[in-house]
Amino acid sequence: MKMSVLFSQTLREAPTDAEMPSHKLLVRAGFIRQLAAGIYTAMPLAKRSLTKIEDIMRAEINAIGGQEMSMPVVHPAEVWQETERWYQIGSEMGRFKDKNQRDMVLAMTHEEVVADLTRKEIHSYRQLPVLIYHIQTKWRDDPRPRAGLIRVREFTMKDSYSLDADWEGLDKQYRAHYQAYFDIFHRCGISAIAVKSDVGMMGGKLAHEYMYLTPYGEDTLMLCDACGYSANRQVATFKKAALPEEEPLPTEKVLTPDCKTIAELAAFLNIPAAKTAKAVFMIADIPEGESSVQKFVFAIVRGDMDLNETKLVNALKASELRPATEEEIVAIGAVPGYASPIGLPEKNTYLPVITIVDELIAQSQNLVAGANDAGYHMLNTNLERDYRADLVTDLTSAREGDGCPECGAPFREVRGVEVGNIFKLGTRYSDSLGCTFQNKDGKEKPVIMGSYGIGSGRLLASVAEEHNDEYGLIWPITVAPYQVHLVMLPSKKDDLAMEAAAQLYEDLLAAGVEVLFDDRDDSPGVKFNDADLIGMPIRITVGARGLKEGMVEIKRRNEKEKRMIPLGDALKTVQAEIDALFAEIQATIVKVPYEE
């Protein structure tokens, strides 16, 4: 490809809203352009890299028995209603009506479609196991798209689906994906770790997320270096330090002026935050049958703990969750800043109230809580005696230094970007859509399913996040748009450099080398800056000065060293460099122990 006709241009400045290096560099280098919030165009350079990433995914999934197919991006609502996810998923789902007023869905994922196919195609144990996959556009109307391709609304995913006759078969396919995903990430030039994760809207028995570790990541991971425990903070459990047991004391209403936060309250009463009960107020949409009911949620955790909203959503089985406004808190009879379940009216005209408390509250006596009276708190409150909970469960988030649930050693906290996930769905979708087969004994059994996804755009952004410097991108050879950036330095005195560069370009193409040829009539400074910004693995510079001695310059993008080589040796030198770069990537592909 000649840069004089490339449909793209480099930019000197990054978008003002760009935070992550990958976002800034992919825009500046001309890889992506934003159409709307969370919606991007992949320009020609990005498209070439995305195709390479998707071909790597194809190769690895084919290697474990995958069969590629293509499934629709528009689904009839009926299949989503059969699994009840139509009612369980909130506004992130793209719903619309076709011209015949039938409810339709823009694909967020394809479990329903696969289950519908399975009940039509699979009838006997002889047809199992099966592994199918596709690479398809998805839509999730994320309310907070950010960080370029890291968090978008429209995206492309490789998602595969395993179909098995028994749980042992699912285990085998799950473990095959577990390793295949590591191989995909390593071939793309990044390292990832697998952590236990929330099954979320997918449902099922078990899930792992693959996390690329970066300080800019939006996920927080809890790692135990002592025993290897790892989990997303959304689901991580930890050893909670209970307070010493006490005899319940009588409640006492005390004046606590201007104490609307736990920190202010603890300081005013000269007590530790652990001796307080913190109330968090949320509004939840909770599916009930084919409709959804909105409820006011009183979530109570110990004052030294943080509420984990993912755990709260899972406990409530909520489709939507948001903070309550002060007006809504007042509407249920509570007082903002001084609220608790104590003294609430039994009924209110606004919304039904659910009180859900963390398990540590149930183990703690004589906590300070709001008195539902402005400027006052209650001393010595106790669950069951002074108020009741509709549900007691784990509601708190693990933090760095908390004890590992397996061995008790302190957690280490890191940030990461989710680059893939795998789910043991089990019979969640088979049961809903009637996906059964006849086993060897002639009995009808449900098909056991698994689901496995990788977003190609997010993976591209993660590679860019990992491989860059102050000058620009540094693409691994496996996913670089082109293997070689050929720079021609024009001369006003003669066309020797242009002729030599053009011939070398043709020779490289004829040998199967992928080349981006900078044939523009620009200054050397502009050309070198663009080459560094775009980040092809190898740069060859052809200039009149070097050609006087029959030499050209070659340089790896990830090294400072430049060397002069004979023009006649350029092709074989480039081929040797490409082979060496591929070998370096291949050396990173190793067997990873399976951690359940």
For residues 517, 22, 159, 318, the Cα torsion angle rounded to the nearest 10 degrees is: -160
Say what the pTM is.
0.86
Phi, psi torsion values for 397, nearest 5 degrees: -95, 135
- What's the distance, CA 451 to chain centroid? 15
Q: What is the pLDDT, as a whole number, of residue 344?
A: 83
The tokens for 80 are: 């989503």
Where in the chain do CATH 3.40.50.800 domains reside?
482-586
DSSP state letter for 17:
T
485 in helix, strand or coil? strand
- What's the distance, CA 368 to chain centroid? 39
User: What count of other Cβ atoms lies within 10 Å of the Cβ of residue 442?
Assistant: 6
**pLDDT per residue of the chain (596 residues) written in tens, 0 to 9:** 999 999 999 999 888 888 899 999 999 999 999 999 999 999 999 999 999 999 999 999 999 999 999 999 999 999 999 999 998 888 899 999 999 999 999 999 999 999 999 999 999 999 999 999 999 999 999 888 888 999 999 999 999 999 999 999 999 999 999 999 999 999 999 999 998 876 665 556 678 999 999 998 888 999 999 998 888 898 899 999 888 999 999 999 999 998 888 999 999 999 999 999 999 999 999 888 777 889 999 999 999 999 999 999 989 988 889 999 999 999 998 988 898 888 888 777 788 899 999 999 999 999 999 999 999 999 999 999 999 999 999 999 999 999 999 899 999 999 999 999 999 999 999 999 999 999 999 999 999 999 999 999 999 999 999 999 999 999 999 999 999 999 999 876 667 888 999 999 999 999 999 999 999 989 999 999 999 999 999 999 999 889 999 999 999 999 999 999 999 999 999 999 999 999 999 999 999 988 76
Where in the chain do CATH 3.90.960.10 domains reside?
252-393
The span from the CA of 429 to the CA of 422, in Å, is 16
Among candidate residues 28, 26, 23, the one with its CA nearest the CA of residue 150? 23
Where in 225-351 does DSSP place strands (E)? 230-232, 252-255, 277-288, 291-302, 320-323
Among candidate residues 12, 56, 96, the one with its CA nearest the CA of residue 460? 56
The span from the CA of 415 to the CA of 407, in Å, is 22
The span from the CA of 119 to the CA of 274, in Å, is 53
228 in helix, strand or coil? coil
Where in the chain do CATH 3.30.930.10 domains reside?
47-74+108-236+413-466
Sign of CA dihedral 326, 329, 330, 334: negative
Q: Looking at the domain 47-74+108-236+413-466, which fold is it?
A: BirA Bifunctional Protein; domain 2 (3.30.930)
- What's the distance, CA 233 to chain centroid? 13
Q: Give Cβ neighbours of residue 97 (< 8 Å, ≥ 6 apart).
A: 103, 104
Q: What is the pLDDT, as a whole number, of residue 198?
A: 65
Select from 3.40.640.10, 3.60.15.30, 3.20.20.100, 3.90.960.10 the CATH code of 252-393: 3.90.960.10
* 80: enclosing H helix or E strand: helix 77-83
Q: What is the pLDDT, as a whole number, of residue 443?
A: 95
Quick one: 482-586 is in which CATH superfamily?
Answer: Anticodon-binding domain (3.40.50.800)
Q: What is the pLDDT, as a whole number, of residue 202?
A: 53
